[in-house]
Amino acid sequence: MIPWLYPGDAFPPVTQALREPNGLLAAGGDLSPQRLVDAYRHGIFPWFNPGEPILWWSPDPRMVLFPRELKVSRSLRKTLKKRDYEVRVDMAFMDVMRNCAAPRAGQPGTWISEEMVAAYSRLHAMGLAHSVETWRAGELVGGLYGIALGKMFYGESMFSRATDASKIAFVHLVRQLERWSFGMIDCQMKTAHLASLGAREIPRAGFVQHLNQLLELPNEYGRWQFDHDLPE
């Protein structure tokens, strides 16, 4: 059994999360900015189907990317060198979320409901949530969004409407975060796509240890701007 969160209830320790399904910790609560920030600060994230109770997760192991471990394949490097794209930041946050929510081949639906869009848009207005976008010929063709606290970035979702479009945004994000001395990117659950970019699983205890250290470091919030001389 997992606890039900009522207003004002604190999250249980992440060590109490279930093994099956991996990481399920609690249900209930809300998606207020205060609740979401508290969740991320403890290594917890929401993931649930629209119309169902909010579920909170902290899986073990945890998929992460240390910025210095980014892998850029030869084919992706060629794509980056073409420079037939433009990377923008925090210019179309809600559009990125809604593109991430669009139906995908082999998936019956999406967990990114309008409730989630509204909740994370509030964090975006507070300077805590950010989008990184790939544009071609004035069209948004790929991107990602996530949360930044301290020197920690929590990746949430990405989408692509053109070859390598989401990877282009991701590489620029990682390069900029490395320059800003961010120490870790939370990728939540293991996927082959993220592993190909250098992400790997670490024990939850190690994740929480790194997280607590990075949250203590300063970070200037607000709308982001990326440097124009990032390495490819």
Q: Given this model, what pLDDT does residue 221 score? A: 74
- pLDDT at position 103 is 75
Domain boundaries, the chain: 4-59, 63-215
**pLDDT > 90? residue 231:** no
pLDDT score at 220: 73
Confidence check: pLDDT of 40 > 70: yes
**Cβ of 33: how many Cβ atoms within 10 Å?**
16
Average pLDDT, the chain: 95
Is pLDDT above 90 for 106?
no
Helices (H), the chain: 33-41, 74-82, 93-101, 114-125, 165-179, 192-196, 204-215
For the cut 80, the answer to whether the pLDDT of residue 73 exceeds it is yes
Structure tokens at 214: 């990075």
Distances, alpha carbon 196 to alpha carbons 72, 199, 202, 212, in Å: 8, 7, 16, 27
The reported pLDDT for the residue numbered 83 is: 87
At residue 108, the pLDDT reads: 53
pLDDT digits (tens, 9 = 90+) for 157-170: 999 999 999 999 99
Q: Is domain 63-215 given the CATH code 3.40.30.10 in the classification?
A: no
Which pLDDT score is estimated for 26? 98
Q: Name the 3-class secondary structure at 78.
A: helix
CATH fold, domain 4-59, is Alpha-Beta Plaits (3.30.70)
Angstrom distance (rounded) from CA 5 to CA 56? 10
pLDDT of residue 141: 98
Answer yes or no: same fold for 4-59 and 63-215. Answer: no
Answer yes or no: are the C-beta atoms of 110 and 156 closer than 8 Å: no
* Per-residue pLDDT reduced to its tens digit, 16-36: 999 999 999 999 999 999 999
Confidence of residue 200 (pLDDT cuts 50, 70, 90): very high
- pLDDT bin (cut points 50, 70, 90) of residue 60 is very high
Q: What is the mean pLDDT of residues 5-16?
A: 97
User: pLDDT > 90: what percent of the chain?
Assistant: 91
Mind listing the pLDDT tens digit for each residue in 183-197?
A: 999 999 999 999 999
